Chains A and B, each alone.
Chain A
Amino acid sequence: MFNRILKIKDIQHLNDYYFVLCVDIGEPAREVKPGQFFELKRPDQLFPMLRKPISVYDIQGSMVFLMVKQVGKGTELLAQMQPGRDLDVLGPCGNSFPVNSGQKAVLVSGGIGYPPLFLLKQELGKADNSVYWLHGGRSRIDIFHADEIWTDDGSARHQGFVTEGLFKYLEHNQPDIIYACGPRQMLKTCHQVAIQYDIPLYVSLEEYMACGIGVCHGCAVKVKSDNGIGVTYKTVCKDGPVFNADEIIW
């Protein structure tokens, strides 16, 4: 893990809300795994002081691509960046998705839940897994390439929640594993569906973070403990962001 000021190599605006930052992190890029994230902020701004956790979207050699959605002040400032400007980068943080081989995997993403699954899809492919990807969003602005697309407002492809798509898919297919990243409610529904079909589900969670390295316990998620009898909190930044969905108390 490192904390360095790096030059932005490129910034690509996908639409008014989503953009992709590219930084050259050198040797550590080899070790970055799907599900991990970096904490980013602008070193030239006092506020916000805390870095924003951003998932790794793609890796090409030593280049790391980080896909961001503008949701507040921190991400708005990141969106105004230009190539050649300084970026404060801390990471890679967190754990990663388990990658098996020779399996049939389903990916389910909602909105900004898309990027970590993009990297995961590549790794799954390399390990000889077949992948079917369902992606959903509020409207077409939240939509990126996938096998099946859902929008709440019907502005692109199927109208409805992406979890409806998952349900229909499972009526006719028997995947070995499901991976999901997106809004909490979407993940919760994925878990209900996964239980019904008895398929293991791994989810990547998002939480407000301060340290990003497991010190402050700010990004708490409620999980089962003591073989399911007790309750405790784990950190999304260090214990996660990827969890077996059965572990979480939804």
Chain B
Amino acid sequence: MNRMLTKLGKLHLQNPVTVASGTFGPEYGEFFDLNRLGAYVTKTITLHPKIGNPPPRLYETEAGLLNSIGLQNPGVDGFISKDLPLLKEKLSIPIIVSFSGGTIEEFVNILQQLEKQDGIAAYEVNISCPNVEKEGIAFGVDALVVYELIRRLRPLTSKELIIKLTPNVTDIAGIARAAEDSEADALALINTLQGMAIDPLTGQSRIKMGICGYSGTGIKPLALANVFKVAKAVQLPIIGMGGICTWQDAMEFFYAGAGSIAVGTGNFINPRACMDVLEGLEKHLSYKEITLQDIIGKVSL
């Protein structure tokens, strides 16, 4: 029996292990069979190509990684003409396309273009990137704006709309409720926290843009708390992420209420991290003679 089956709204996944947008690419096919993932999530695409932020863009800090990539991507046209055909050729698992916009009209425009393509299983609506001024996070911090955006996108597709939430808000449950009320299908959380690092000897910011996104092991407790809060507030399925590197990390997210998980920064540390998580989960569930569905949200306090 497959103990790992899980659902993401209408979408059935063979297993709950997915990847965090922006931390994964077909390059990892050098290290394992990509089709063993539960689903593949693309880097976030925008309407027009973005060259990204000036370097330095990376800095490893205590228990985590700072990044300031700035949604570098070829734009929706480049994605459709080059990246998507390549992904469709390589992958037989569900492809989830992540996208973001600077205005509601941009989100609408991108979704309309993507809807004309086949081979896309679901969308991740990224309203939470901390590294771009206009796109993303401006939307993710205001429940009314989230509601208005998803109400506009909802009639345009029958596919899953997964909303990617930011932890950089006072009330993440309120944002999650707005997504549920506007008929989103699922939630993905958390995106990176705002972070910063400075050279103590020179005063120079380690990252050119100053404030950037903080991810990795150090954010796991915060991510778990946010998943737990959101799972209590809404019925929507949750893709949990934030510092997951091992199968034990993943188990914590399932207990907190996530039905699937994503590995992000963990991929950079261990290129086989997704497979190590997957194989560890299979072994553990089998040893305990339980299924994944038995434990989702079953944290005991």
Interface positions of A (Cβ within 8 A of B): 1-3, 47-50, 90, 207-211, 213-222, 231-233, 238
Q: Which residues of B contact A207 (CB under 8 A)?
A: 55-56
B58 close to A (CB within 8 Å): yes
B179 to chain A, nearest CB (A): 28
Flag if B216 contacts A216 (CB, 8 Å): no
Flag if A50 contacts B65 (CB, 8 Å): yes
Bound form: Cα–Cα A232–B75 in Å: 13
Flag if B51 contacts A50 (CB, 8 Å): no
Flag if B30 contacts A1 (CB, 8 Å): yes
Other than the given A49-B217, A218-B58, A233-B55, 14 more pairs (CB < 8 A) read: A1-B31, A48-B60, A49-B216, A208-B58, A209-B58, A210-B58, A210-B60, A211-B268, A213-B27, A215-B267, A218-B57, A218-B67, A220-B57, A220-B69
User: Closest 3 CB pairs between A and B?
Assistant: A218-B58, A215-B25, A210-B268
Bound form: Cα–Cα A221–B268 in Å: 20
Flag if A233 contacts B72 (CB, 8 Å): yes
Q: Which residues of A contact B270 (CB under 8 A)?
A: 3
B134 to chain A, nearest CB (A): 19
Flag if A213 contacts B54 (CB, 8 Å): no
Q: Which residues of A contact B57 (CB under 8 A)?
A: 208, 217-220
Flag if A216 contacts B268 (CB, 8 Å): yes
Residues 64-107 of B, flagged 1 when their CB comes within 8 A of A and 0 if not, give: 01010100100000000000000000000000000000000000
Supposing A49-B269, A50-B65, A233-B72 touch, asked if A215 and B59 sit within 8 A by C-beta, the answer is no
Name B5-48 residues within 8 Å CB distance of A: 22-25, 27-28, 30-31
Which of A50, A209, A216 touches B23 (beta carbons < 8 Å)? A216
B210 close to A (CB within 8 Å): no
Q: Which residues of B contact A219 (CB under 8 A)?
A: 55, 57-58
Bound form: Cα–Cα A208–B61 in Å: 13
B207 to chain A, nearest CB (A): 10
B241 to chain A, nearest CB (A): 16
Chain B residue at smallest Cβ distance from A3:
B271
Flag if B52 contacts A220 (CB, 8 Å): yes
B3 close to A (CB within 8 Å): no
Bound form: Cα–Cα A2–B57 in Å: 26
B284 close to A (CB within 8 Å): no
Chain B residue at smallest Cβ distance from A72:
B60
Supposing A3-B272, A208-B58, A233-B72 touch, asked if A217 and B52 sit within 8 A by C-beta, the answer is yes
Bound form: Cα–Cα A4–B294 in Å: 36
18 residue pairs from A and B, CB less than 8 Å apart: A1-B30, A2-B30, A3-B271, A49-B268, A50-B65, A90-B271, A207-B56, A210-B58, A210-B60, A210-B265, A215-B27, A216-B22, A217-B69, A218-B57, A219-B55, A222-B54, A232-B51, A233-B52
B110 to chain A, nearest CB (A): 20
Chain A residue at smallest Cβ distance from B52:
A233
B127 to chain A, nearest CB (A): 21
Which of A48, A208, A211, A214 touches B56 (beta carbons < 8 Å)? A208
Bound form: Cα–Cα A211–B51 in Å: 19
Bound form: Cα–Cα A1–B62 in Å: 29
Bound form: Cα–Cα A210–B59 in Å: 9
B204 to chain A, nearest CB (A): 13
Flag if A214 contacts B25 (CB, 8 Å): yes
Q: Which residues of A contact B267 (CB under 8 A)?
A: 211, 215
Flag if B31 contacts A3 (CB, 8 Å): yes
Bound form: Cα–Cα A216–B69 in Å: 8
Q: Which residues of A contact B69 (CB under 8 A)?
A: 216-218, 220
